[in-house]
A and B are shown apart, each in its own frame.
Chain A
Amino acid sequence: MVNELKVVGKNVARIGAVEKVRGEAKFVGDMSLPGMLHAKILRSPYAHARIVNIDASKAEKLPGVRAVLTYKNVPRILFMEESAEESYVLDDKVRFLGDEVLAIAADTIETAERGLELINVHYEELPAVFTPEEALKPGAPLIPPPEVSKDNMLVGPARTRSRDWGNIEEGFKEAEHVIEKTFTAHCVQHMPLEPKAFLTNWERSKLTVWATTQRLFSARHCVAKVLQMPETAVRIISPYLGGGFGSKSESTRYILITALLSKISGKPVKLQFTKEEDMLARTRPANVISLKVGYKKDGAFTAIHCKHTVHGGYSWCHSTTGTVNIRALYKCKNCRFEGYTIYTNHPSIGQMRGVLDTFAAWGMTSLVDQIAESLNFKNPMDYAKKFHVRAGDECGTVIDADGVTCSSCGLDECIDRATKAIGWAEKWRGWKTPVKIQGNKRIGMGMAAFTHDTGMPWMVTGAILKVNMDGTANFITPVTELGNATITTQAQVVSEASGIPLKDIYVTFADTEVAPVDPDGQVDSSTAHVRSISSKMAGEDAKRQLLERASPQLSAPPEAIDIVDGLIFIKSDPSKSITVKHLMEQTEFGVVPVVGRGVSACPHFPQKAFSYGAHFAIVEVDTETGVIKILKYVAAHDVGRALNPLVCEAQIQGGVTMGISVTLNEELLFDAKGKTLNLNYTDYKLFTTVDAINVIPIIVESNDPISAYGAKGFGEAPLVGVPGCLSNAIYNAIGIRFSELPITPERVLKALKGKK
């Protein structure tokens, strides 16, 4: 008999919600320390320049200025975060317009700002390149430090993201049809509401940092390396974060700048980014996906060639093809995936929700729609249902071991339920036939089937559950709380596993001093999958110890006892019981404390988990204005198990809304000199309450066999499905397949004009 879950799967209120609605929850920007200084950064006015000299003497003499940091007084030690480039804290070269040149710490923000005005920098402007093509031309200016790379292409054994399966040439020979298309995606920004902030306190031998970071252990490792301190001397804490979406993955440079200002001044220092600075500090790159696929008359793939080129800024984009999950969605023996990150003089890039899989998925979804149409499939989803990967099928991506198979797939249920919810049978009128035409307005519908990863194979983590003398417990987890309720869902897991009621568990999160090492942090939709395993293990370990301790009290062997909701009882006779509180309050000589420990690695072989999803949309295209309106959007997601269904729904609605906005609306724009033109909410428009629609979420539970309670992470997936789903629905409305994002009214009108 399967035990009914008591806490997992329930809509418990999120931890911290009361503090948040009362305005009591503290974010880094809300924190201060006695004697704290304020830091400001001088940013480069050029896209590419050598700093010949910096004269900071006037600023240093300004009363209230306490520290000035330049390339001259930072340690000349290279560091590289998990997902960023190898670089120095500050360098004698600036690589994009807005790059960090110098930092000042002063008594007040105003003094720090005045100090910046007194700095005299002598720049030697260098030629700048803004596209991969320019950056790779012979004689192009070298962007990285020469000791890091001799050219502008990021490759190398450790970072190459290219791989072959089967024989691609043979695969194309076998094909009866070949289709080839290039898709171009734009540069966008994560736009969390909270701009990045950092607070550092440097006491004699101890550095404490409160930071907006999603990866605190990787950050600590780099900070310790550059500052030449043991990791024990560096403590990084990430309090509540005001959204991340990937933007807080690469924060180490700013931690180091703040820490060094603290070291020089001997005072606590706070660095608070403005929104403008926050938007410059990491973007999601423009990227080009070239897809060539070969297939049989029945639609079966014989070859897939995916080439991915990323406009890198000066950054290593971790995600080049690494997260391209085509092989986890469609069966194909012969594949070649190639990924290239090319350095340019645009702002540094980083990871963003869905990473670059969003665009590979967009390309594949568009091609599959086209193939399904050309082969006269009745409905677009019929293709996905016929050929998608199922549990047990090979599914490995570029970063996975050979022969790895899919652990669970709820895609069929996603498709079936979403098909019904959108009203497909009643509305779909066939390929090239809009659902309705009303004057200038053409209504179309479309769908996308997709997958996304739920943890990188190298991820490791841990959790601790300490049971107290009154039966309450402290749960210590490395996870950060970005807004996606990770501390709540992890507490649900540990409560379920231990039998200690959720109300009796206090969560200490995201503090390198106390939590087990978790180098990769909250990225890649990994928390519900990878961290749940260690949280469950910690709960079970504590429970085992409680049972052993209760055994003599209840005169029964541990295996005959269970704990539910704080009550320890004999399974065959629940009337014989003792509460956890009562048990822990009793002290006897030699009875040791209860400390549950869990450690886990991302399950990666022989099976691997992916989340699956199907999106369906009905859109209205105004052929006179080019404006696209979403009339209905249904998003079905296989989450393995919903640890907290309300949280899952919110993830779906928020992710899809972000996806619609990114697909139709958002784009970071640059001028010919590399200046970013729209670094504010007025010029970079997010969806507001009046733009957003009520996305209909559907939760599918495939109960993944290699996960804790069956849960797969899926926080990024809601965005991944959107560009493809909308592109296909727009095609149904107006007969145009877009291969450039965003699909703005201007692009729609231009395409309509071209069609005539």
Chain B
Amino acid sequence: MSEKEINLKVNGKQYSLQISSHKTLLEILRDNLGLYGVKNGCSIGECGACTILIDNKPVLSCLTMALSAEGKEITTIEGLSNSDKLHPLQEAFIKYGAVECGFCTPGIILTAKALLDENQNPTEEEIRLYLKGNLCRCTGYSKIVEAVVSALKSLRKGG
């Protein structure tokens, strides 16, 4: 386990860190950068709570070695909206009651963000298929899907 220097770009900011080479991105984002919005649900790539975006694609940070993310654009939930104004997805999740315990919420919102970047007109079926790796035990998913559909509409309106 050697120490390595690494440069990470997270939420638009550059970080230069000295890390153990075996560390996952999940560990570095949480323990070194204090980005606790990246949730640690299972550590083995099954629940989706630790989902982040790397170059706008959803990635399980618990299965990603930190060293492999060098030079890439990393977005965590903390970086989705840099102002006081919430992202339309965040607003819709609140309005539609899609947030309950909130543990899966950051990962689901980021996955939904990646979907909406890829596909501006997904059907409900496509939304469900895209989100299937993000587990939620509270909601039964209906309100999450409703929130994504609604955010989609307001994004199209340019809201």
Contacts and interface: CB of A to CB of B under 8 A. Distances in A.
B100 A193 contact: no
A445 B14 CA distance: 58
7 contacts: A18-B94, A27-B103, A243-B100, A650-B100, A658-B137, A681-B135, A692-B141
A30 B36 contact: yes
A24 B37 contact: yes
B137 A192 contact: yes
A385 B20 CA distance: 67
Contacts of A24: 37, 78
Nearest to B108: A689
Closest CB pairs A-B (n = 9): A23-B37, A483-B101, A20-B102, A242-B103, A657-B140, A23-B77, A681-B46, A30-B36, A653-B140
Contact of A21 (B35, B109, B138, B143): B109
Interface string A686-700: 111110101100000
B58 interface: no
Interface string B18-48: 0000000000001000011111111110110
Interface of B: 30, 35-44, 46-47, 49, 76-78, 80-81, 86, 90, 93-97, 99-106, 109, 127-129, 131-145
Contact of A656 (B49, B86, B102, B140): B140
Q: How large is the interface on A (under 10, 10 to 19, 20 to 34, 35 or more residues)?
A: 35 or more
Contacts of B81: 22
Given A194-B41, A650-B139, A688 B99 contact: no
Contacts of B109: 21
A654 interface: yes
Given A191-B137, A650-B138, 7 more contacts: A18-B94, A23-B106, A27-B39, A192-B103, A275-B42, A483-B103, A680-B46
Interface in A407-426: none
Contact of B100 (A22, A274, A485): A485
A308 B97 CA distance: 38
B36 to A, nearest CB: 4
Given A650-B97, A690-B132, A275 B41 contact: yes
Contact of A193 (B35, B80, B127, B137): B137
A23 B93 CA distance: 13
Interface in A200-247: 240-243, 245
User: Which applies to chain A's interface (DSSP): helix, strand, loop or mixed?
Assistant: loop
A444 B139 CA distance: 26
B137 A29 contact: no
A361 interface: no
A742 to B, nearest CB: 17
Nearest to A243: B101
A688 to B, nearest CB: 4
A649 to B, nearest CB: 7
Contact of B94 (A21, A654, A689): A21
Given A21-B86, A194-B103, A690 B140 contact: no
Contact of A18 (B42, B86, B136, B142): B86
A688 B128 CA distance: 8
Nearest to B100: A483
A195 interface: yes
Nearest to A13: B94
Interface in A1-47: 11, 13-14, 16-27, 29-30
Contacts of A20: 99, 102, 105
Given A21-B94, A240-B102, A483-B100, A690 B128 contact: yes
A11 B132 CA distance: 28
Given A191-B137, A192-B137, A29 B40 contact: yes
Contact of A23 (B40, B47, B78, B138): B78
A695 B142 contact: yes
Contacts of A546: none
A646 interface: yes
A287 interface: no
B99 A17 contact: yes
Contacts of B103: 27, 192-194, 242-243, 483
A460 interface: no
B49 to A, nearest CB: 6
A243, A245, A655, A687, most chain B CB atoms within 10 A = A243
A495 to B, nearest CB: 19
B83 to A, nearest CB: 11
B44 to A, nearest CB: 7
A341 B31 CA distance: 44
A688 B37 contact: no
A571 to B, nearest CB: 35
A695 B101 CA distance: 19
Contacts of A245: 137
A30 B104 CA distance: 14
A14 B46 contact: no
B77 A680 contact: no
A193 B94 contact: no
A482 interface: yes
A538 to B, nearest CB: 26
A692 B37 contact: no
Contacts of A11: 97
Contacts of B35: 23
Q: Select the residue from A192, A483, A695 with max chain B CB neighbours within 10 A.
A: A483
A25 B105 CA distance: 11
Contact of A680 (B44, B93, B99, B134): B44
A275 B144 CA distance: 24
A586 interface: no
A686 B41 contact: no
B148 to A, nearest CB: 10
Contacts of A687: 140-141
A245 B42 CA distance: 18
A275 B43 contact: yes
